């Protein structure tokens, strides 16, 4: 029963996202709550009407959406997608459901980088979810990593989260391996670029994939960090991310929290 319900939520979330390309309002009208839709994208007005009102313009400018990965975790569905929206971008969207309707949305969007140090793209790699029975354990591993390493609670544990230097990296400015991560962090430090996570807000997982949504600072700007991890045999094996600056208050179109 739970699995069937999750499949239904996945189909609804997928349909809503794909409507941004098609311009067809049916999915938004049918699957988003008419009165209780909380929008955390600060560039959009609150409520369902803002999404419906944007459809014609999105279709006019040729918006494209290609969904690569979908995670379902309780009432949450997270999607990892490639967009063509004022240029090629990579994005994460998170929808929260109540009684079968979407009542809340978060997202993060970043320009796609074509040439990366790892020679992987920002979105390629495995898409099939495995190890469903390890979902809870994998969420514990990833949350621990984000808190101890990225938030800096216990950085000495870094190597314990990886199987040696075997680490596939899709972040656009970091090479493969734990060594690549270390080199990137040293490079930021040498340039006096501040890179700091301050709080993890969401941990959404299914099987071997776990997505975290965190806030922090990048080069002095308040920033949203979305990190997707693939866990294999209790170790972090692969990583994708999307980093987006948080709009300043004077540019926001709603008063909700970014997280």
What letter does residue 112 receive in the DSSP assignment? P
CA distance 164 to 208: 19
Low-confidence ranges of the chain (pLDDT < 70): 1-4
Measured CA to CA, the distance from residue 142 to residue 126 in angstroms comes to 18
* pTM of the entire predicted model: 0.95
Q: What is the DSSP code (8-state) at residue 149?
A: I
**Half-sphere exposure of 112 toward its Cβ, with a 13 Å CA cutoff?**
19
Assign 20 to helix, strand or coil: helix
pLDDT at position 2, please?
53
The stretches of 23-169 forming alpha helices (DSSP H) are 26-31, 48-60, 135-145
Q: What pLDDT, on a 0 to 100 scale, did the predictor assign at position 1? A: 45
Name every residue whose Cβ is closer than 8 Å to that of residue 212 and which is 6 or more positions away in sequence. Answer: 142, 143, 146, 200, 202, 203, 204, 225, 226, 227, 229
Phi, psi for residue 124 in degrees, rounded to 5? -75, 180
- Which domains, and CATH codes, for the chain? 2-115 (3.10.450.50), 132-245 (3.10.450.50)
Residue 185: its H or E element: helix 177-190
Tokens of 130: 């495995």
């Amino acid at each position: 029963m739970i699995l069937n319900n999750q499949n239904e939520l996945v189909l609804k979330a997928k349909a809503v996202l794909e409507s941004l390309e098609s311009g067809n309002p049916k999915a938004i009208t049918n699957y988003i709550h008419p009165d209780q839709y909380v929008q955390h994208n600060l560039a959009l007005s609150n409520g369902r009407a803002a999404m419906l009102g944007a459809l014609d313009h999105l279709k006019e400018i040729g918006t494209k959406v290609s969904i690569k990965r979908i995670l379902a975790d309780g009432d949450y569905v997270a999607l990892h997608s490639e967009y063509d929206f004022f240029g090629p971008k990579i994005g994460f969207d998170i929808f929260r459901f109540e009684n079968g309707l979407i009542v809340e949305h978060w997202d993060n969007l970043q320009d796609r980088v074509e040439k990366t140090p790892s020679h992987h793209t920002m979105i390629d790699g495995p898409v099939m979810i495995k190890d469903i029975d390890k979902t809870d354990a994998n969420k514990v591993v990833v949350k621990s990593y984000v808190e101890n390493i990225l938030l800096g609670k216990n950085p000495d544990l870094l190597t314990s989260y990886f199987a040696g230097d075997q680490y596939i990296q899709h972040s656009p400015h970091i090479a493969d391996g734990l060594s690549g991560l270390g080199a990137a962090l040293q490079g930021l430090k040498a340039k006096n670029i501040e890179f700091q996570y301050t709080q993890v807000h969401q941990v959404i997982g299914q099987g071997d994939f776990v997505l975290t949504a965190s806030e922090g600072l990048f080069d002095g700007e308040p920033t949203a960090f979305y990190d997707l991890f693939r866990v294999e045999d209790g170790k972090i094996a692969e990583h994708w991310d999307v980093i987006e600056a948080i709009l300043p208050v004077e540019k926001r179109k709603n008063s909700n929290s970014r997280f």
